[in-house]
Copies of this chain bind each other. A is one copy, B any other.
Amino acid sequence: MHSKNNSNNQEEETKKSFIEQARRAQIVEATIAVLAEQGYLNTSFSRIAAQAGISASLISYHFKSKEELTEAVYTFITQQRQEHVAAQVAGAATATDRLRIMLEADLAYMGTRPELFQALLEILFVGRSKTDAQSHRADVVHAGFMPIAEVLKAGQASGEFGDFDAFNLAIIIDSARDGFLGQLAVYPEFDLEQFTATLMTTVLTLIKKDK
């Protein structure tokens, strides 16, 4: 734990935690694959282990409980999602641009990895065994439309957008985007670009000033 020779301590610890991180990542990826392919009900430690080519107890070794693993998967997907959007939204000048990029970047990333969204849904609508899960899910749901609601309000405050119920419109936009992603997981042949275009046209119509 606290070794005596402080020579290459950091290097060792980095390497160690590297292996650990690699394993955890491997397990998380395997879990996503199983979740997307087999559904939450069939996502047992032994199936994840089979998918990853490791033993089931190794999963317990790296994740204290199934809950912790599920949480890690959720965190991983959500972070990936947010990072991709954040990277592109940084350069947006207007509220319109920010809103456009938020939707387009998210659809572009998640739309090409339907298994991520699939896994996310499985987690959100199942892992409700513990007491705080309901509120956790609430937070999650919340997290989806709040950023959109803020952009909408910002656009209204700056006079860039027209007059509308920002809160409920945010729910509509957020649900539309996630709804399509949900469809895409089931119907891979749906046209991502076309939907994105339709959604953008729709949104621009709705936030227009002189409507």
Contacts and interface: CB of A to CB of B under 8 A. Distances in A.
**DSSP majority for the A interface?**
helix
Contacts of A197: 165
A121 B179 CA distance: 13
Interface centre among A54, A126, A177 (most CB of B within 10 A): A126
A63 interface: no
A36 B122 CA distance: 16
A42 B179 contact: no
Contact of A187 (B121, B138, B206): B138
Interface string A37-48: 011111000000
B121 A186 contact: no
A38 to B, nearest CB: 7
Interface in A140-199: 141, 145, 164-165, 168-169, 171-172, 174-180, 182-183, 186-187, 194-195, 197-199
Given A40-B126, A126-B122, A206-B206, A172 B199 contact: yes
A1 B54 CA distance: 7
A202 interface: yes
Contacts of A179: 171-172, 174-176, 178-179
Nearest to A135: B186
Interface of A: 1, 38-42, 53-55, 121-122, 124-129, 133-134, 137-138, 141, 145, 164-165, 168-169, 171-172, 174-180, 182-183, 186-187, 194-195, 197-199, 201-202, 205-206, 211
